Structure 1
């Protein structure tokens, strides 16, 4: 069994605890938390399971890493603390851990990552013998392995579009939704996540990774952005009230330009209420979905819907992102130490997990 630690117990961390417990090759060896109120609470409770696991949460990073766990799922946020997240991950890799995380956007495609970031990880790998695999929480597989797999089913490919279409009213992360993305803010507010160049910083690596896999060169990466205001005040189940006249929907694209045309596109269409921007693309059932469209011959469209935590599409997206990461741990543990990407790490069947008995 591979002793595995989960660092963070928010939206991603809860799913990570469940995924580690369910995996037949992994053993939950520890849970790290930042909130003092969570210290001492059982991992089963923090992970939303209906039983205790006998693993109390701790805030003592030194003690957890000193116990030399083989793997670590870094589920703490990197959205507003990228430098701290990188320092945490490097520390864990240097201690010899196989680390999987969605927190470091620039390392979705290590080849194009800033040299100082890549070099810091590679130095930790050389010193401690650990490894790192980064895949997106939005979820990463929808912007790399799934479109690449589907592209291989056609005879010709004219372009690939990866869409996230979501109602954010079920997404229990108020700081990200209200302040990073700007939902409920005045229309003159400039959301940090939507500022020029930021979408490219976050999703550009996935475009470069797809281009590399497809054997094409990107001429450029461009961004488009559209925002809509709420026509009426709405109240959500998880995040309270959003006033009329404030931002209620966002649509943006990060476009990989090939031969002067946007051939590879990652598009997000997000709302705080389905009444806002009804003319924009809609999910099949109103809650949320991820969609891949391969234009060519034949035209192929694949839509993925995932539910978790009580029929919650946002939680389902987190869970599938975590499933990709946690499912890679045993492969990484058997591989040579290194810095890996989605083209390196295979997406494998859920061997030993069909019955779900470990849940």
Structure 2
């Protein structure tokens, strides 16, 4: 059994605990939390499982790593603390662990990550013998391995478009919804997530990774952003009111330009209510979906709708992203120490329960 730590118990961490517990080759060795109120709580309780797992959450990172776990699922956010997240991850690699995480955007395409970051990871690998695999929570597979797999089913490929289409009404991170994404803010408010260069910083690596797999050179990466205001005030059960005239929907694209045209596109369409921007792409059903469209011959369109935690689509998306990471752990443990990306790590088959 591969002893595995889950570090962080938010939206991603909850799913990670469940995934590690369900994996027959992994053993949940510890759960690391930042919130003192969570210290001592059973991992099963934190993950929303029916029974206890017999693993109490700890705030003592040093003790957890001193036990020399073979793997760490780093589920703490790196959105507003990328330097701290990197420091945590390097610490785990130096302790000899395989680390899987969605928290370092710059390493989605590890080969083109900033040199100083690559050197820091490699130094930690050389010192401790651990490894690192980074894949997105939006989810990464929807912007790399899935579109690349589907692209191989046709005779010609003109454009690859990866879409995340979501209603954030039930998303369990109000600060992110209101301030990072900007829902409910005045239209002159600049949401950090779509400030100039930020979409490319977060999703540009996935565009570059797909271009590398397709064997094409990008001219550049461009961004487009569009926002819509709510016509009427809407009330959500989880987050209260969002006033008329404030931001109710945002749509942006990160475009890989080849031969002067957008040929590889990652697009996000996010709403706080289905009535806002009805002319924009919508999910086939429910509150969210991930979609891949291959424009070519034949034209191929695939939509993925995942649900978890009582039918929540956002939670389902998180769970599939976590599944990609957790299911890669046994492969990574068997591989040589190093820095890996989505083109290096194969998709792993599931297991019948």
TM-score w.r.t. structure 2 length? 0.99
**1:118 aligned partner:** 118
Q: Within 2, Cα distance between the matches of 1:48 and 1:126?
A: 38
Q: Within 1, Cα distance between the matches of 2:126 and 2:178?
A: 40
**1:298 aligned partner:** 298
Counterpart of 1:307 in 2: which secondary structure?
Answer: coil
In the alignment, does 2:259 pair up with 1:273?
A: no
Deviation, 1:257, is 0.2
**2:229 aligned partner:** 229
User: What do residues 135-165 of structure 1 show as CA deviations (whole Å, max 9, x unaligned)?
Assistant: 0000000000000000000011011000001
In the alignment, does 2:73 pair up with 1:85?
A: no
User: What do residues 94-140 of structure 1 show as CA deviations (whole Å, max 9, x unaligned)?
Assistant: 11000000000000001111111111111100110000000000000
Unaligned residue ranges in structure 2 (runs of 5+): none
Deviation, 1:286, is 3.5
In the alignment, does 2:131 pair up with 1:131?
A: yes
Q: Within 1, Cα distance between the matches of 2:78 and 2:125?
A: 20
Q: Within 2, Cα distance between the matches of 1:177 and 1:218?
A: 32
**2:352 aligned partner:** 354
Deviation, 1:25, is 0.3
Q: Within 2, Cα distance between the matches of 1:317 and 1:144?
A: 15
**1:18 aligned partner:** 18
Counterpart of 1:93 in 2: which secondary structure?
Answer: helix
Deviation, 1:240, is 1.7
Deviation, 1:235, is 1.2
**2:331 aligned partner:** 331
Runs of 4+ in 1 over 6 A off after TM superposition: none
Q: Within 2, Cα distance between the matches of 1:237 and 1:31?
A: 30
RMSD, aligned CA: 0.6
Q: Within 2, Cα distance between the matches of 1:101 and 1:81?
A: 14
**2:75 aligned partner:** 75
Q: Within 1, Cα distance between the matches of 2:237 and 2:289?
A: 19
**1:160 aligned partner:** 160
In the alignment, does 2:299 pair up with 1:308?
A: no
Q: Within 2, Cα distance between the matches of 1:72 and 1:175?
A: 27
**1:218 aligned partner:** 218
Query: In the comparison of the two structures, how many residue pairs are matched?
Result: 353
Deviation, 1:28, is 0.2
Deviation, 1:22, is 0.4
Q: Within 1, Cα distance between the matches of 2:186 and 2:142?
A: 31
Confirm or deny: 8 A CA contact 1:158 1:295 kept in the other structure: yes
**2:205 aligned partner:** 205
Q: Within 1, Cα distance between the matches of 2:177 and 2:122?
A: 33
Counterpart of 1:251 in 2: which secondary structure?
Answer: strand
Confirm or deny: 8 A CA contact 1:274 1:286 kept in the other structure: no
> Any residues of structure 2 matched to 1:54-73 within 5 Å, and which?
54-73=54-73
Deviation, 1:241, is 1.4
In the alignment, does 2:21 pair up with 1:35?
A: no
Greater shift in the superposed pair: 1-10 or 228-237: 228-237
Deviation, 1:39, is 0.1
Q: Within 2, Cα distance between the matches of 1:147 and 1:132?
A: 23
**1:181 aligned partner:** 181
Q: Within 2, Cα distance between the matches of 1:77 and 1:238?
A: 21
**1:102 aligned partner:** 102
